Chains A and B, each alone.
Chain A
């Protein structure tokens, strides 16, 4: 059976390059699964969990923070601002991240700083929710 050649890249390095049966990407308009032969698509990515399927099983999971996905019939490339293997992230880390973002928000002096802090906080909350949801599955 044909496979999707999947790549997950961060600005600093390439995290994963593999052949997968299916990839589920958390798009900003909803999750979408990519199978071989998918229509060409460019989408933004929301903070959430990305799954790489081999057969019927999610072999690898990643927490991703924002970015883009480019899909062609043969390939799927995800450009993530930040991506971490799911197993390496503990709920405590994410809670800590949320607290740090909250502190930033209270300390923010200018409007621009406040906006960034708010965005960071939203990202941290999304991540925590996504993590809790997937961890229970």
Chain B
């Protein structure tokens, strides 16, 4: 039977762990709210961009237009952008993304494609390095500190564009966690280059009241300017969703951890009290039996 002192020490250690997890939960909750606000604030721009792109894309059908829209015409080399967090202690957030990425990479390799990995976030890189080390072409970490900005997305998009223009890949897909609620995040693989055929193209002319847009300068030039920007916007959205998912996941994980710590404390306290009572009873019996013997 462990002594009273060891019990007390263990309870105290669990209590301090609980304090930390509780604090982390509060911080994650506050950051989650901010991340959600940011995601909402960024929505109008993305929506307006989608609309313009849809009405422009309508005039380029069936593989015509710039390469960024139509693709390179081949799909031999795939770039997988794995967007994870830089830190752990967030439940299954990073592992679910990495698991999906791994599954995707395996199936691509099985099809005989070449795969390159661009790890955005430290955790993704660390977990993928073991299996696919030589495939990681680049890594970016410490994005969104202290606060995610459009500049961060520009950094990522700039690097992707650089690789695309150098002809280093044909298809780019990003794997990230879509934010549904603090409890649920959905792992999503979204193809960025070439963008999946916009089904909105039919709706676009209707949105403009049946009228066709004039373009200034011409369509081609606007499109050439717009597509890289759209890529940045898409990546910005991914980063925002990811940030919200990260904090949501962390909040849930820390909530669970605090509750578990509470359970452990309860159990230990019960054990401690039992053993205290047992030793008191034992002493009493000894005294009484001693007195009876006289």
Interface residues, chain A, CB within 8 Å of chain B?
Answer: 7, 9-14, 27-29, 39-44, 68, 70, 72-74, 77, 79, 81, 112
Contacts and interface: CB of A to CB of B under 8 A. Distances in A.
A40 B216 contact: no
Q: 8 smallest A-B Cβ distances: which pairs?
A: A13-B41, A43-B216, A11-B150, A9-B45, A40-B211, A40-B213, A14-B44, A41-B214
Given A27-B216, A42-B215, A112-B162, A12 B52 contact: no
Given A12-B149, A44-B221, A68-B222, A39 B42 contact: no
- The interface centre, meaning the residue of B48, B51, B217, B229 with most chain A CB atoms within 10 A of its CB, is B48
A13 B240 CA distance: 13
Interface of B: 38, 41-42, 44-45, 48-49, 51-52, 55-56, 149-150, 153, 162, 208-209, 211-217, 221-222, 225-226, 229, 232-233, 236
30 contacts: A7-B44, A9-B45, A11-B42, A11-B45, A11-B150, A11-B153, A11-B233, A11-B236, A12-B149, A13-B44, A14-B44, A28-B217, A40-B209, A40-B211, A40-B212, A40-B213, A40-B214, A41-B215, A42-B213, A42-B215, A43-B222, A44-B216, A44-B221, A44-B222, A68-B222, A70-B52, A72-B211, A79-B48, A81-B229, A112-B162
Given A12-B42, A13-B42, A112-B162, A42 B216 contact: yes
A9 B44 contact: yes
Contacts of B213: 40-42, 70
A28 B182 CA distance: 44
A110 B162 CA distance: 13
Given A68-B222, A68-B226, A79-B49, A42 B55 contact: yes
Given A10-B45, A12-B45, A39-B214, 17 more contacts: A9-B44, A10-B150, A11-B153, A11-B232, A11-B236, A14-B41, A40-B209, A40-B211, A42-B216, A43-B217, A44-B216, A68-B52, A70-B213, A72-B211, A77-B48, A79-B52, A81-B229
B14 to A, nearest CB: 42
A27 B214 CA distance: 13
B216 A29 contact: yes
Contacts of B225: 44, 68
Nearest to B225: A44
A74 B208 CA distance: 9
B48 A70 contact: yes
A79 B44 CA distance: 9
Contacts of A29: 216-217
Nearest to B205: A40
Nearest to B38: A12
Contacts of B153: 11
A28 B222 CA distance: 11
A125 to B, nearest CB: 20
A67 to B, nearest CB: 8
- The interface centre, meaning the residue of A9, A27, A39 with most chain B CB atoms within 10 A of its CB, is A9
A44 B228 CA distance: 14
A79 B208 CA distance: 17
Contacts of A77: 48
Contacts of A72: 208-209, 211
Contacts of A73: 209, 211
A36 to B, nearest CB: 13
A41 B52 contact: no
A34 B52 CA distance: 18
B110 to A, nearest CB: 36
A44 B216 CA distance: 7
A7 B209 CA distance: 19
Contact of B52 (A28, A42, A74): A42
Given A12-B149, A14-B41, A42-B56, A70 B51 contact: yes
Contacts of B48: 7, 9, 70, 77, 79
Contacts of A42: 52, 55-56, 213-216, 222
A72 B212 CA distance: 10
